[in-house]
Copies of this chain bind each other. A is one copy, B any other.
Amino acid sequence: MTLSRQDMIARDNDDALAGFRDEFELPEGVIYLDGNSLGAMPKAAKKRVADVVAKEWGRDLITSWNINGWFDLPHRLGDQTAKLVGAQAGEILVTDSTGINLYKLLAMALDLRPDRSVILMEDSNFPTDNYIAQGLVQQLGGHFEIRFASREDMQDQITDDVAVVALTQVHYKTGAVFDMHDMTRRAHAVGALICWDLCHSAGALPVDLGASNADFAVGCGYKYLNGGPGAPAFLYVAKRHHGQAGQPLTGWWSHAEPFAFERDYRPAKTINQMLSGTQPILSMAALECGLDIMLRADMRAIRDKSMALGQAFQDLMTAHCADAGFTLASPSEAAHRASQIAYTHPHGYAIMRALIEHGVIGDFRAPDIMRFGFTPLYTRYVDVWDAVQTLKTIMGKNTWQEPRFSRRENVT
């Protein structure tokens, strides 16, 4: 039986997470299915950021480093993030960007496995991870290599010459999910370390770094954590690795005693060793508003609603857009994908532009992928219904055929 709009409204009325929508600023007339790229704005961020500007910077000035806790932000936000991804306090820092954090972690991993030479990665990974690894290998001058494998072949490529397996848990295009426990176990079974990129995982589905025994992880603050544009990223180092190896971006915040102003570097023995320089405080403050909401929501409920939204979208696409040329590019079972669904279409770029003009915001990834993200804290079931109807209308009218914009549009 095909879902009706009334069915979707009924589901919204029964939705235990429905109240969270009111905590976000969402523009009128827009169905926002791109929270997997930039999360919506928590209303609390307006006041919080205004306070940091006017009171903490404007009034308290330099004293804010102590009296307003700026020094502790990487740790405080890190400890909050830890609760979302199954880490302990003191294992996560919020700092720098995803790529820079990955660089630190891969360098540390190679340092911990000096007799091995391979970084194993996914060939169709979000490019920045692969580029960062390539930059590191290039810099280290010939001792190391990157082995690329497809997601399907990955487990067979985890051999005993691998120093570190560096995987993005949720594929940025398809939303396919790696089994973190299984892949971590396979890496450890051959003596390799593993580093998880959680950019499309954190806040989207339950993650348990501790239970899976992961070594390292990075993740993004501006997607499902709703931390604001370019929000600082997080990094995770399991406690057993603290103080065991170096990372190369040895800024003063990573020193054992930054305020001793010693000439020579001595690394901290805690997670602090992964810091580098001073962090952008305004952007850190906004991220805390996003984390605060996420910590009040039940991650199991988020996952259940995420799967239900995706399944509804898939069912409605089948019911209403079956003949329009779309091919599902995501795993067909909700349990095997995270909080997004992708379809390919030969005219995907033009169709996505038309959708955006009609108020349904998803995004496009070359060459032909249309991505739709479902963020359970602020996406309603009825939004899914309306989005598919908008797409159906566009396909019926052929209004999508003339692209008017450049391709440089969304960010991951």
Contacts and interface: CB of A to CB of B under 8 A. Distances in A.
Contacts of A303: none
Interface stretch (A121-129, A151-159, A176-184): A121-129
A140 interface: yes
A47 to B, nearest CB: 10
A250 to B, nearest CB: 3
B229 A282 contact: yes
A120 to B, nearest CB: 14
A49 B40 contact: no
A411 B62 contact: yes
Contact of A62 (B98, B128, B139, B410): B410
Contacts of A130: 263-265
Nearest to A278: B230
Contacts of A65: 229, 409-411
A335 to B, nearest CB: 27
A295 interface: no
A51 to B, nearest CB: 11
Given A50-B46, A248-B136, A282-B49, A27 B100 contact: no
A99 B249 contact: yes
Contacts of A281: 228-230, 283
Contacts of A322: none
A107 B139 contact: yes
Interface in A265-308: 265, 276-284, 286
A134 interface: yes
A33 to B, nearest CB: 10
Contacts of A71: 408
Contacts of A53: 41, 45-46, 49-50, 228, 286
A248 B66 contact: no
A396 interface: no
Interface in A11-58: 25, 27, 30, 32, 34, 37-38, 40-41, 45-46, 49-50, 52-54, 56-58
A238 interface: no
Contacts of A41: 53-54, 57-58
A243 to B, nearest CB: 15
A356 interface: yes
Contacts of A126: 252, 261
A262 B97 contact: no
Q: Tell me which of A59, A62, A264, A410 has the highest count of chain B C-beta atoms within 10 A of its own C-beta.
A: A62
A280 to B, nearest CB: 3
5 contacts: A62-B411, A131-B255, A134-B250, A135-B248, A259-B409
4 A-B pairs with least C-beta separation: A97-B277, A135-B250, A280-B283, A99-B251
Given A38-B61, A65-B410, A127-B261, 19 more contacts: A27-B58, A37-B62, A41-B58, A46-B53, A61-B361, A71-B408, A96-B277, A97-B251, A98-B278, A99-B249, A100-B277, A128-B252, A132-B250, A134-B265, A140-B141, A230-B278, A230-B281, A233-B277, A280-B282
